Amino acid sequence: DAELGHLLGEVASAPVTVVGVGGAGPQPFPDGFGALIAPGEALAALGFLFESSYAPRRAPSDSWLFKAIAGGATLPEVVGWDDDRLVGRVLGEAAVVLGRVLEASFAAVVRHLPGVPQPEMGHGDWLAGVEGLLSDRPGLHLTGWGYRGVGVAHLATDAVRVAEAISRRDG
């Protein structure tokens, strides 16, 4: 469907890279969810999630795990960096944020392309246009993090909306 495909292709997004890092020993970061990096700090990382703090079973009991989200709209070229450069940069930035060097024994990199949706001014009008085209295509439903929010609560709410629409049509 060229018309719908063209409209869907207009959504803005920013490529991000997730870098997971872990190591042996006690947790090297404070209890909590993580840390966000303020805009303008000239760091590749947008934030750190202390996985083994808020979800202790994600790492063995004698180990720690965190992940960094890097790149985004302010530094989209990060997604093209090689793994060694990414991991080294994230560990260096984590040391600055945490005030201590981390001795990692594990690292994994996942690149997300096209990336995280970036709703801009006019997103509501864009979404109305998509919904208008969908109204002419019975049985086609779209959901995901580029439409009505990127948080888990937004996604769950939208999934219920789509399930109800399908149930009404098929019921």
Residues 2-42: tens digit of each pLDDT:
999 999 888 888 999 999 999 999 989 999 999 999 988 98
DSSP string, 27-74: --S-SSSEEEPPTTS--SEEEEE-HHHHSGGGS-TTEEEEEEEEESTT
Rounded Cα distance between 166 and 171, Å, is 8
User: Percentages helix, strand, coil for the chain, rounded to the nearest 5?
Assistant: 40, 25, 35
Torsion sign over Cα 33, 84, 74, 156: negative
Q: Report the pLDDT value the prediction gives residue 118, as an integer from 0 to 100.
A: 85
**Three-state DSSP class for 124?**
helix
What is the value of pTM for the model shown? 0.79
Are 16 and 22 spatial neighbours (Cβ–Cβ below 8 Å)? no
Residues 112-139: tens digit of each pLDDT:
988 888 888 999 999 999 999 999 998 8
The CA-based dihedral angle spanning residues 7, 9, 12, 14, taken in that order and rounded to the nearest 10 degrees: 170
| Nearest C-alpha neighbor of 67 from the set 54, 77, 80, 79 | 54
**pLDDT at residue 145 above 80?**
no
Are 154 and 144 spatial neighbours (Cβ–Cβ below 8 Å)? no
Q: Report the pLDDT value the prediction gives residue 117, as an integer from 0 to 100.
A: 84
Residues 54-103: tens digit of each pLDDT:
998 999 989 999 999 999 998 999 999 999 999 999 999 999 999 999 99
Residue with tokens 């090689």: 82
Residue 15: burial class (beta carbons within 10 Å; 0-12, 13-18, 19+)? buried
**pLDDT at residue 169 above 80?**
no
Q: Which tokens belong to 40?
A: 């303008």
Q: Which tokens belong to 121?
A: 């001014």
**pLDDT at residue 171 above 70?**
no
Q: Report the pLDDT value the prediction gives residue 146, as an integer from 0 to 100.
A: 78
Are 155 and 19 spatial neighbours (Cβ–Cβ below 8 Å)? no
Q: Report the pLDDT value the prediction gives residue 106, as an integer from 0 to 100.
A: 94
**Three-state DSSP class for 45?**
strand
**pLDDT at residue 147 above 90?**
no
Q: Report the pLDDT value the prediction gives residue 170, as an integer from 0 to 100.
A: 62
